[in-house]
Amino acid sequence: MKKILIVDDEPNIVMSLEYIFKKENFEVFIARDGAEAIDIVDNDIPDIIILDIMMPNVDGFQVLKYLKRSEVLSKIKVIFLSAKNKTSDIELGLKLGADKYVSKPFSTKKLVKEVHLLLNK
């Protein structure tokens, strides 16, 4: 069973994505901010992370930088899911090493498709 970590501080998004990915037969982990996400990946490495950028404590950019500093954690696929949709934000996210950048509001159907595409590469 593939593991997915959903990192977002918006409860409605978390609940919706958790439901969808459980239906897709993923083992789902939830983090409400970047610090919690780092704690989770240090204990149980997911196959893919859906990562918001604007969160309290530690933001998504900082989480991605943390992942990329580790040979093991840098292999985790990362999709940024963010309301920050300026070209400069998207370019920065991809430059830091995200595999995909999806802007909010988003299509859950497309997001699920992106997750499957990345995991089947």
CATH of domain 3-109: 3.40.50.2300
Q: Whole-number mean pLDDT of the chain? A: 96
Confidence of residue 121 (pLDDT cuts 50, 70, 90): confident
User: End-to-end CA distance of the chain, in Å?
Assistant: 17
The string of pLDDT tens digits covering residues 73-88 is 999 999 999 999 899 9
Return the domain boundaries, the chain.
3-109
| Per-residue tokens: 35 | 């610090």
Per-residue pLDDT, averaged over 10-37, amounts to: 97
Residues 28-42 pLDDT 10s: 999 999 999 999 999
State the pLDDT at residue 101.
96
Stretch 80-104: mean pLDDT: 94
Note whether 66 and 73 are within 8 A (CB).
Answer: yes
Are 16 and 108 in contact by the 8 Å Cβ rule? The answer is yes
